[in-house]
């Protein structure tokens, strides 16, 4: 497994070209690729602003909502927590890595995209609380691939002990958001090595 974190698609392409021309590139044949961008979900923020718009008699997307969203999103982007999500660094003390793609379910009776924004926000907040129980043992990188890949998101996990992946994913599968609305691709697990 090869993971590239770069600041642009052009930088990703350059890294792929460099790998292809290397000694390693001469002996490996990629069986799967996944392209995505890091992102920080704003469910809580957009749900809050939608409630505020409704309470003042406005609507999602009106001028006041759009202005408030731009201000709040700018402030969120500058927070240390969000910057860490948007610009991840490989953790030096967590050599094991797991990657899997996922999408939200769109079945007739379980369609994520037909839920209200408040409901999606509530479900994602509960999901996040489960993940936070693994803080310090697992570091995650969530990336969005809508329009770039068949799957909607990529989840990359790092840990000192690979069994933490099994524990975390098992716990997450019992969250309502995963149990009802998540579809998972193949899981890839490896250990970071020096080149």
Domains of the chain: residue spans and CATH: 32-42+87-191 (3.30.70.1030)
* 41 — pLDDT class (breaks 50, 70, 90): confident
> 3-state SS of 107-156?
CCCCEHHHCCHHHHHHHHHHHHHHHHCCCCCEEEEEEECECCECCCEEEE
Give the pLDDT of residue 165. Answer: 96
HSE, side-chain direction, 13 A CA sphere, residue 167: 13
Cα 120 to Cα 47, 84, 184, 185, distances in angstroms: 9, 23, 18, 22
Give the pLDDT of residue 44. Answer: 78
Q: Round the average pLDDT of the chain to a whole number and report it.
A: 90
Question: What mean pLDDT comes out for the span 54-72?
Answer: 90
Cβ(168)–Cβ(157) below 8 Å: yes
Question: What mean pLDDT comes out for the span 69-84?
Answer: 85
Question: What mean pLDDT comes out for the span 58-66?
Answer: 90
Three-state secondary-structure class, residue 26: helix
pTM to 2 decimal places: 0.83
| Of residues 116, 117, 133, the one with CA closest to residue 170 | 133
Catalytic residues: 100
Q: Is the pLDDT of residue 195 over 70?
A: no
Residue whose tokens read 């690729």: 33
The per-residue pLDDT for range 114-164, each reduced to its tens digit, is 998 889 888 988 998 999 999 999 999 999 999 999 999 999 999 999 999
Within 10 Å of residue 24's Cβ, how many Cβ atoms? 11
Give the pLDDT of residue 81. Answer: 81
Cβ(166)–Cβ(101) below 8 Å: no
DSSP state of 91: -
pLDDT exceeding 90 applies to what percent of the chain? 53
């Amino acid at each position: 497994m090869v993971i590239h974190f770069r600041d642009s698609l052009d930088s990703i392409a350059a890294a792929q070209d460099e790998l292809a021309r290397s000694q390693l590139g001469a002996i490996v044949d990629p069986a799967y690729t996944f392209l995505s961008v890091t992102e920080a979900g704003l469910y809580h923020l957009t749900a809050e602003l939608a409630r505020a718009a409704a309470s003042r008699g406005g609507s999602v997307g009106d001028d006041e909502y759009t202005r408030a969203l731009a201000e709040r999103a700018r402030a969120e982007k500058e927070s240390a927590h969000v910057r860490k999500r948007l610009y991840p660094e490989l953790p030096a003390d967590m050599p094991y890595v797991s990657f899997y793609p996922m999408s939200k379910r769109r079945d007739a009776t379980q369609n994520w995209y037909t839920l209200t924004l408040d409901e999606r926000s509530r479900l994602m907040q509960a999901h996040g609380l489960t993940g936070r129980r693994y803080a310090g043992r697992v570091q995650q990188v969530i990336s969005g691939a809508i329009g770039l890949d068949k799957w909607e998101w990529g989840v990359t996990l790092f840990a000192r002990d690979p069994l933490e992946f099994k524990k975390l994913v098992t716990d997450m599968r019992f969250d309502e958001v995963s149990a009802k609305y998540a579809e998972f691709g193949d899981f890839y697990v490896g250990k970071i090595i020096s080149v």
